[in-house]
Amino acid sequence: MVTSESASNSYNSSIAARAFPLVAIAGHNSLKLALLLAAVDPGIGGVVIAGGRGTGKSVLARGLHALLPSIETLQNSLNSDPRHPDEWDRVTRARIRQSAKYVNTDEKPTSLIPTKIIPTPFVQIPLGVTEDRLVGSVDVTSSLNTGMTIFQPGLLAEVHRGVLYIDELNLMDNNIINLLLAAVGSGENRIEREGLSLTHPCRCLLIATYNPEEGTVRDHLLDRFAIVLSANQLLSIAERVEITNSVLDFNDHSNNFRQKCSEETDAIATQLLLARQWLPNVRISRQQIRYLVTEAIRGGVEGHRPELYAVRVARAHAALNSRDQVNAGDLEVAVRLVIAPRALQIPPQESNSNMESSSPPQGKENSTDNEQDNNDQDETKDSDIDQTENNEKENDSEEDQISPQIPEEFLLNPESIAVDPDLLLFSSNKAKSGSSGSRAVVMSNSRGRYVKPMLPRGPIRRIAVDATLRAAAPYQKIRKLKEPHRNIIVKEGDLRVKQLQRKAGALVIFLVDASGSMAFNRMESAKGAVIKLLTEAYKNRDEVALIPFRGERAEVLLPPTRSITAAKRRLEQMPCGGGSPLAHGLTQAARVGVNSLATGNLAQIVVVAITDGRGNVSLSRSLGQLPLEGEESIDLKEEIKIVASRYRSLGIKLLVIDTERNFIGAGMGKDLAEAAGGRYIQLPKASDQKIAAIALEALNET
């Protein structure tokens, strides 16, 4: 009988045996270095590899795993390290404490503890993995036999001290990704479900890949990884021929191929092993950290994570090169791999005075040297000051002998080192799509994919049999004492229902001002944008509607639809000119949006208002309500703001696109967007392509 643990070990061994040698992979120098640095310090924050089809993303990940050394673990544990009792999980600690061979777990383990050597775990997260398989759940069989709640480890337990590989990161369920990153980021997996309340360590090397052509990844998700690089590279014909020959040779004669690369592979594996031992002794100075922070600021990098990641990358690079002190080369690698891909801007050329004041110290010069030079000019003023300055000189000379190395120039500087365009992944994603968000999903009790069990609320429709059995398993022994004739006894408190999840589209409502001299241009652009969005509507489950407002009222010219034929037929003829009943237009758009949300088929509503925000027809007039005698007239601007402010409570997004070229009383469109908590974009030349792109950007925002 093969146990799951032995099967996992054999699986890891087979992965290493089939892996293409990392040293034999053509190109990808930056990616290879990034993976090696992550292997030196698995807590570095993970590596994401983005690239098109067939660019070697998974080959790189598996090739790195083949280089990792085997690990020593405690027998019958979650890959616990015998040398670090403080990291053991509670069950392992209790079991060792009860063992006669080992009494005090606070002391260092001895050779009496049963241990074993296993290959470094390699766990790939399946695309459709469930929450209980990921984090762990109740072991039904063991719980039935013992009458106690027994924990069945999940994938996060199996990958401790190993490699966690996520393929198709952009297609993974958001809840699964959040659970995974929370566990890996904190170094432990916390389970609070189905009567379980426990934690176990989860320290692993995280590698993820995705194809941008199949969908982008949210920016805040990419920011949780230390290094995000592209696998796309330009290769010559000769290089591609060499790659093809290497793959064919590997497939036909894998053993001989590995033997050719064995010497270089063993050298890198040894280097990794030594670098891990060297890493705790690597030091980085305060001035070097200041340099990394300054680079992050110059690149417009958001948050503090990048500079923290950069520090760890610099230390890992120093350890990989057998140094105990970070130098200028290590800092440049950290900037190139961590900060440059996140740079939202390349700093403009600054004046000489600014550069002199902001540039880091070069060589052995530092801030104390400048202070000393200023003091040297005043040596003749006072003998006491002379003595103080002499002491400072002696101290400075001692500090100069051990001053840390810092690059002479900033990397993110137009006149300095050229940045590889392939590394600018964050900024390129934003430039293409405006955001890296993902479409929303909705929870349902009737249809969709089963994502997790939950306690029932109201009538029970779909019972989660697996979760129900897990909840009832620990109590079977006690219940059978009262009802021995029944095999399994399930009570009402054990019932769990299925939480279903399905993708939901969005509704884009184009609210177009059809009044005034610019009405024709606005309508033509809006029509083109509607047709362009409809071409993408089917796969995203999106719908489009068009509401023009003119004269005294707004009418729903195109109800929510995904039909291009119906849209073209409705958009052929549309009158323009007259007044601007903006308040009624906003009201009509909100009504259409609320009714669409009530169907449960849509997750979000975006109203794209193509207007300058200057309405001149009141809402009461549009509704045919005559003002009462003596009633004061309502300020039209305030009325529009009041109507727009209700969008917040309705959960409707408002995007105002101002197409006016000559602004008279400009700013009303911006005030309208602010009242609704939306966005305002000034776009005098609003083509259908631009309007469609901006609408998609609003949809993708989280």
For residues 172 and 155, give the distance between their C-alpha atoms in angstroms, rounded to a whole number.
15
In terms of DSSP bridges, do strands 196-201 and 205-210 run parallel, antiparallel, or are they unpaired?
Answer: unpaired
DSSP state letter for 163: E
Catalytic pick among 95, 133, 193, 305: 305
Please indicate whether residue 305 is annotated as part of the active site: yes
Q: For tokens 């009988």, what's the residue?
A: 1
3-state per-residue secondary structure call for 236-303? CHHHHHHHHHHHHHHHHCHHHHHHHHHHHHHHHHHHHHHHHHHHHHCECCHHHHHHHHHHHHHCCCCC
Numbers of helices and strands, H then E, in the chain: 28, 21
Cβ count within 10 A of residue 45: 22
Rg (Cα) of the chain, in Å, rounded? 32
Name the strand (E) or helix (H) holding 369: helix 367-376
In sequence order, what are the residues at sequence separation of 6 or more whose Cβ sits closer than 8 angstroms to the Cβ of residue 146?
Answer: none
Cβ count within 10 A of residue 395: 12
Cβ contact 155:125 at 8 Å: yes
Write out the two tokens for 332: 């440049």
What 3-state DSSP class applies to 515? coil
Cβ contact 181:224 at 8 Å: yes
Write out the two tokens for 566: 């119906």
Q: For tokens 């939950």, what's the residue?
A: 454
- For residue 314, which of 303, 304, 325 has the smallest C-alpha distance? 325
Cβ contact 646:669 at 8 Å: no
DSSP state letter for 337: I
Q: For tokens 């009530």, what's the residue?
A: 598
What 3-state DSSP class applies to 459? coil
Which stretches does DSSP call E strand in 631-687? 652-658, 679-682
DSSP state letter for 88: -
485 burial class (0-12, 13-18, 19+ CB within 10 angstroms)? exposed
What residues act catalytically?
Answer: 305
